[in-house]
Chain A
């Protein structure tokens, strides 16, 4: 994708989010005209935005530390049982 195209998608995506869901279609009709692929691209980003919620909102490190703690916990549990 060329940089101008991407910039346009980015701008329209952010602008569309400023509209209420029911007004969005009219905005996109106007902004995209008959460029269907542009519209599909923007709409799919909006759909993804609506599903994303807390996706990547917590730093990776926190999630990783929890995983590490779980594996250490298991290890300690194994050590304790084998010692008995």
Chain B
């Protein structure tokens, strides 16, 4: 990756290829997106004091959204775009977690908080790989609930946005989210 514009064009092409079923394009996408994020993170970290990750997170998040925003015009519909973006995010994060977990044997896997109140405790954090597995088990049982989780947790969409994408009322999304969250939490606790 040399310049921002060439990487953006590359991302567009890879996204199109991947959405058409080319699984090899995903690897290219992962590399590009992560390289871009690492580059941004590095630049930001040099300026910020260690530990000041919150602001950095917001900035990286913005950068990712910008990267994705540019591609939006090319999609058949907004819903199609969001579905692809959420799936892509899920694949990228889970694959990245797998790579790191292989490299570091456990300790390096991406973990998200099960409960913010006990964030400091290692036992209370969750492996994205385990969550992804549980979500794959939810899909055949209740496809819409698994999509709600994918769009919200991996795609970062609000309740209202998810309702718009799935063509249901926000109340339905709230209810789906509540059940899916309890179900996934139970699955994950049983496994760990």
Indicate if the CB atoms of B154 and A63 lie closer than 8 Å. no
Bound Cα distance from A13 to B179, whole angstroms: 8
Mostly, the B contact residues are: helix
Complexed CA–CA distance, A68 and B57 (Å): 9
Known A-B contacts A59-B154, A59-B156, A72-B45; the reply to A67 vs B182 at CB < 8 A is no
Q: Tell me if A62 is interfacial: C-beta within 8 Å of chain B.
A: yes
Select the stretch in A19-27, A31-39, A46-54 that faces chain B: A46-54
Q: Does A70 contact B (CB under 8 A)?
A: yes
Known contacts A62-B61, A64-B93, A72-B38: A56-B181 contact under CB 8 Å: yes
For residue A75, which residue of chain B has the nearest CB? B42
* Best-buried of A45, A48, A54, A60 by chain B (most CB within 10 Å): A60
Interface assignment of B131: CB less than 8 Å from any CB of chain A: yes
Q: Which residues of B contact A53 (CB under 8 A)?
A: 115-117
Interface residues of A in 1-22 (CB under 8 A from B): 1, 6, 10, 13-14, 17
Which residues of A are found within 8 Å of B84, using beta-carbon distances? none
Take A56-B153, A60-B154 as given contacts and tell me if A68 and B60 are in contact as well, using a CB distance cutoff of 8 Å. yes
Whether B154 and A55, one on each chain, are in contact in the complex, defined by CB atoms closer than 8 angstroms, is no
**Contact in complex: B45, A54 (CB < 8 Å):** no
Instruction: Identify the A interface with B (CB < 8 A).
Output: 1, 6, 10, 13-14, 17, 44-49, 51-56, 58-73, 75-77
**What are 27 A-to-B residue pairs whose CB atoms are below 8 Å?**
A1-B141, A14-B178, A45-B179, A45-B182, A45-B186, A48-B183, A52-B185, A53-B117, A54-B116, A55-B114, A56-B131, A58-B112, A60-B90, A60-B93, A61-B61, A62-B61, A63-B111, A64-B96, A64-B128, A65-B41, A65-B57, A65-B61, A69-B41, A69-B60, A71-B108, A73-B50, A75-B42
Known: A1-B141, A68-B60. 4 other contacts (CB 8 A): A45-B182, A54-B113, A63-B111, A64-B112
Chain B residues near A (Cβ < 8 Å): 37-38, 41-42, 44-46, 50, 53, 56-57, 60-61, 64, 89-90, 93, 96, 108, 110-117, 126, 128, 131, 141-142, 149, 152-156, 175, 178-179, 181-186, 189
